[in-house]
Structures are given as structure tokens and as C-alpha cells.
Amino acid sequence: MRVGELSRRAGVPIPTIKYYLRTGLLSPGSLSSPNQAAYDATHLHELRLVRALIELGKMPVARVRAVLDALAADATPHTVLRAFRGDDAGHEPAARDPDREWAQGVVSGLAARRGWRIPPDHPEARRLASAVMASKRLGHAELVAALDCYAEASEQVARADSRYIAQGTDPHDRAERAVMAALLGDAMHASLRRLAQEEASRPTDAVPGTRAPCG
Amino acid sequence: MRVGELSRRAGVPIPTIKYYLRTGLLSPGSLSSPNQAAYDATHLHELRLVRALIELGKMPVARVRAVLDALAADATPHTVLRAFRGDDAGHEPAARDPDREWAQGVVSGLAARRGWRIPPDHPEARRLASAVMASKRLGHAELVAALDCYAEASEQVARADSRYIAQGTDPHDRAERAVMAALLGDAMHASLRRLAQEEASRPTDAVPGTRAPCG
């Protein structure tokens, strides 16, 4: 197909497609004449993926490229997910701060209880510690008591994602499934969390507290 | 305290504080002299909240103001959460599209199974339908099979949040707890989901599929 049909089928404007071609986010088409490139189903799929990573995942171009590179290299789901998260190696250690140290302790304790083998300087563990620290500073340190429930829910979601990944037919399929579960799962999960929250916060609901601690 | 101490204690630069004062995101201090304003613990708390909504919640100023207004009016958690999500009343109905209709059917079916009383044009239901539609377009419609597991995890989180909100001592406290659970919960949850995903995707893990469907 020509670029016009590619644009129509993916719902992506032609100038955007040209930008993706220039920046290497989209593989070049095959030249059918000196001024005419032809694209196939692989390009359509690639284009939709780039678009979803940018629009749904709100990823900067450099991270989109890292994800595509990992997919092209048939990396393991574990490696592809690292590219997806954009773990930054460089990190300025924050100044010593009792609130931050408390928050890091909370995160380490949680990781130990869940049996998670994450180093304390893991970028996502640092982000979690920042949120925990913010809860303390905002006078809502008690919210930390919900962390184990949150973690249990996250594990349930991660197991569902793992099953989806494991159903892939080959390494490339499994790597792409890992990206899809992370990208689409994040979007779905954010909406579901808000819908469930709204449902649970309806004024007519029964008084909570009669349920199991994490039920 | 003076603005300098307020800045130091909240970790927010003075020019930013002045911007918040000008735009009404922060209540004015009491004038201790014609050129000198004094701030108290209420201002510090307010400032930290504004900061967290903007930094952690990535909210535009108009939405921060809507949340603050709802808090000031001692609105119910349900109403405060609507302000937090920034539900937009105006919405252009999308052109008829079989993929979108399929996605809306998936979302309605899920809501019916969970007993969620959400109208189909709910902004968050529309966002969920967009993610579901994207999964189909990207050739990963099977991921939709994980939606019930995702929803179950979301309900678990929402129940934990409801308990935290219900522990509030008065309407204002409950409304603020609703905002905190949504804001800090979102941040914590995003990190936890990635950590759990990383843990579950370790190459050395046992083959999934031996667990319960949503366990």
C-alpha cells in the first residue's frame, strides 16, 4: 500500500508518518519507483504500535525507540519491560532526609514481605519511596497501611499478564505481549481503578469495615 | 512563619509560591505588616497538597482548583473524586466505528458482570473502551480476557481506599482522604504494578498456568 492508505488504515496523518520515518521509528517502505514507497501489514502494525506507545503510553521518542529496539532484538519480556519503563541508570542521590529514609524502609519491608528481589536503588522502588514519603509529608502516613493490599492486587495483575505473555508462540511474540500487557494494561488499569473507586465511594454503599482486611 | 520558611519547609521555591498565591491555589497569608504576610500550618499543608496534585498527579491548574474547591466545600468523597478525575461534560461523539462499538460492548459486559452502575458515556468508561479498542487494533484482543482479573484487583484496591476514607473523623477529613487515596494510591499503584511485573517476568520463574484463573 502507499503512504496514503497506510495513513488512513492506521488513523495517523501523513506528516506524522513522515516524521516517524525520518526519526527511524518506522521502517522505510520498499521503493516501488524512485519517488514511491510501498508499505505492507508489518508497517501498519509497527505504525499502530508506535502510535499507541506515544499516545497511550505518553512515551518520549527515545523510549519508544528503546522499546522497538528491544522488540527487534527478540529480547526477553524482562528486558523489554525494562526498556518500556525507561529505567535511568544515572541518578543523583538525594540529600540525607529522615522522611526519605523512613519511606525507603517502608519499601524494603514491603519487598521483603512479598519476596520481591528488587535492589533498593531500583528506579521504580525509588519512585514508590517518593510516593510513600509524600504521604507522610501530607499527613497521611496511615495510607501506607494499604500498601500490602495494593501489592497483593498488583501481584494478581502481574500473574494475569505473565499468563498472557507465556501464551506467545515465539520469543518475538512473547516480547510484544509483554509490551502490550504493560501499555494497554496500564491504561485499562487506571480506568478500572477509577471506576471501582467511584463504585465503592457511592454514598449509598454499606459502611466498609465488615470485609476481610484485604478482601 | 514568613514565606521563606514556608518555602523551605515545603520544599517549594518562593517564586512558585507567589504564583500559587496569584492564581488563588494557595490562600493568602495574614498581613503582619503592610509588606509582610504570615503563614501557618494550614498554609503549609495546603501548599504541600497543591504541589503533590501538580507533581505527582500531573494535574493542570484548573483541575487542582476544582479539587481544592470541592475540599473547601466539604464535598462527599464521591464528589471530590469526580473533581479529581476532571470528568469533562462536553464530549464529541466519535464516528460510528465497529471496533469502538465492540470495545463499548466489552466494557458494558464487564460492568454488568461486576455490578458496576456506570452509564456507558461515563468519561472513564470511554477511556477504558479506547484502551480495549487499541488492544484489538494492535492485534492483541485476547488481552481483554484479563479484564476481569484486572477489575477484581481494582475492586480490592478500591475497598482498601474506602476503608481509609471511612476512618476520617469528619466530612472534610473524609474528602481529603479520598483525594490522598486517589493521588498517592495512583502513584504507589503504578510503581507496585511495575515491580510485581518485573518480579513475575524473571526468566527463572516457574511456568505460569498452574495457578487459579485469577489467583
A204: confidence class by pLDDT, cuts 50, 70, 90: low
Contact B144, B132 (CB under 8 A): yes
The total number of residues shown for chain B amounts to: 215
Could you read off the pLDDT of B44-94 as tens digits, one per residue? 988 988 988 888 888 888 889 998 888 888 788 878 888 887 765 445 555
Residue of B nearest to A198 (CA): B78
Could you read off the pLDDT of B107-130 as tens digits, one per residue? 999 999 999 988 878 888 988 998
Query: Could you give the ipTM of this predicted complex?
Result: 0.77
Helices then strands, counting H and E runs in chain B, come out as 9, 2
Q: Please report, rounded to a whole number, the percentage of residues in chain A having pLDDT higher than 90.
A: 30
B211: confidence class by pLDDT, cuts 50, 70, 90: very low
Mean pLDDT of A114-129: 87
Chain A residues 79-98 with CB within 8 Å of chain B = 81-82, 85
Chain A residues 98-157 with CB within 8 Å of chain B = 111, 114, 116-118, 122, 124-125, 127-128, 130-132, 134-135, 137-140, 142-143, 145-147, 149-157
Mean pLDDT of the residues in chain A = 84
Could you read off the pLDDT of A128-152 as tens digits, one per residue? 998 898 888 888 888 898 899 999 9
Range among A149-158, A165-174, B164-173 rated most confident? A149-158
Q: What is the rounded CA–CA span in Å between residue A89 and residue A121?
A: 10
CA distance A195 to chain B (A): 7
**Number of Cβ atoms within 10 Å of the Cβ of A129:** 24
pLDDT at B210 over 70: no
Contact B160, A214 (CB under 8 A): yes
> Chain B partners of A123 at a C-beta cutoff of 8 Å?
none
Chain A contact probe: residue of B71, B189, B211 with most A CBs at under 10 A? B189
CB distance A185–B128 less than 8 Å? no
A203: confidence class by pLDDT, cuts 50, 70, 90: low
Residue of B nearest to A78 (CA): B201
In the 8-state DSSP scheme, what is residue A144?
A: G
CB distance A196–B155 less than 8 Å? yes
pLDDT at B155: 92
Chain B contact probe: residue of A76, A114, A165, A192 with most B CBs at under 10 A? A192
- Left, alpha or beta for A44 (phi > 0: left; psi -120 to 50: alpha)? alpha
Could you read off the pLDDT of B163-182 as tens digits, one per residue? 888 898 888 888 888 888 88
Look at A134-148, A179-193, B92-106, B142-156 and tell me which has the smallest mean pLDDT. B92-106
